[in-house]
Each structure stands twice: as structure tokens, then as C-alpha cells.
Amino acid sequence: MRYNISELLSGKVSSIEIDGYLEIEDLNIDSFKVDKVYVKGTIFKKTSLGLELSYESDWTSHCSRCLKEIDYKIKGSIKRSIVTKFNDIDDENVFVESDVIDLSDLIVDDIILNLPTQLLCSELCKGLCVKCGADLNTENCECDTQNIDPRLSKLKDLFK
């Protein structure tokens, strides 16, 4: 997602609109199926150069407990200063070396940073049986999962 900012740098325009899709085909983060991300915002020059954008995307992922496919909406916003001198680089700004700014890495990094570590189809999801793999939301299996804990099974031996 590249934008030419030469007219912004020369002062011909004071802002450039960002409105489009970022395609991320090769990116697969954990169980997230990534598609395209809608991005909207501006690159502007006020007292200094900067950018503001928001993004959103409908993704699919899996419940961490029962593995059911679930829809997940990803959303975020990014504000950064833009610097053109190497010496001014820090964590909070974006360095632009030429007339072209590439927003792809900025957005992808932000998405990765904000991904939830665990997604559930429902707070009440019972998950899968650890023995037979049955989906306990829809069926009851006959497995005895009570004595999975080895400390407990030792206790049981005492009473034989």
C-alpha cells in the first residue's frame, strides 16, 4: 500500500487521502485466515508531517477451545509522525527515504500486535473432550476425564 508524497513534501498539497484495500495474501498468523484490510485516513503536513489512519477487516479464525470456525472483526487505528531524516527515527514515527511511503508494514505490525491471544465462540464454550475429541457443546461422551490428573489417580489407588 504505497503512496507518493512528493506533492506533500513540496507543499503543493496539504494532505493526501488514504482510502483503499491492503491485500495480505501471504500472511498467516496462528489460526487467523487473513484476507484484505480496508484502510482509510490521511497523510498530512501541518506543522510537521504525519499520518492518521484506521483499518478494519473481517477475518475468520477458530475457537481456542472447540476449534469451531468463527468470524472475527479486526479493527485499529494508527497515528504517526513522519520523518525524512534518518537521525530522527524512533519507535513512534515512520521514516520515509524517498517520495513514496509504504504503509503495509505499519498496518501489518499493528494488526499482529493487537491480535487476541485467545478467541472463544462463547464464554460458555465447553470445548473438546481431551480423550476422544468430542465437541462437548453438542454431545456428551462417555469418557471418564475425572482421573486425568496423575496426583488424583494415585489417591484413588490408596482406596483399592
Note the residues at the interface with Zn ion (CB under 5 A): 63, 65-66, 121, 125, 129, 131-132, 134, 141, 143
Distance CA 75, CA 15 (A): 23
Q: What angle do CA 27, 31, 36 make, to 5 degrees?
A: 40
Distance CA 11, CA 5 (A): 10
Give the nearer residue to Zn ion in terms of CB position, either 26 or 71.
71
Task: Work out how close the CB of 118 gets to Zn ion at its nearest, in angstroms, rounded to a whole number.
Answer: 11
Task: Work out how close the CB of 71 gets to Zn ion at its nearest, in angstroms, rounded to a whole number.
Answer: 13
Which amino acid, residue 104? S
Give the nearer residue to Zn ion in terms of CB position, either 87 or 138.
138
Task: Work out how close the CB of 112 gets to Zn ion at its nearest, in angstroms, rounded to a whole number.
Answer: 23
Give the nearer residue to Zn ion in terms of CB position, either 57 or 61.
61
**Sign for the pseudo-dihedral over CA of 130, 133, 140, 69:** positive
Give the nearer residue to Zn ion in terms of CB position, either 36 or 131.
131
**Sign for the pseudo-dihedral over CA of 105, 40, 35, 68:** positive
Task: Work out how close the CB of 111 gets to Zn ion at its nearest, in angstroms, rounded to a whole number.
Answer: 23
Which amino acid, residue 73? K
Task: Work out how close the CB of 100 gets to Zn ion at its nearest, in angstroms, rounded to a whole number.
Answer: 44
Give the nearer residue to Zn ion in terms of CB position, either 13 or 129.
129
**Sign for the pseudo-dihedral over CA of 106, 41, 25, 74:** positive
Contact 135, 151 (CB under 8 A): no
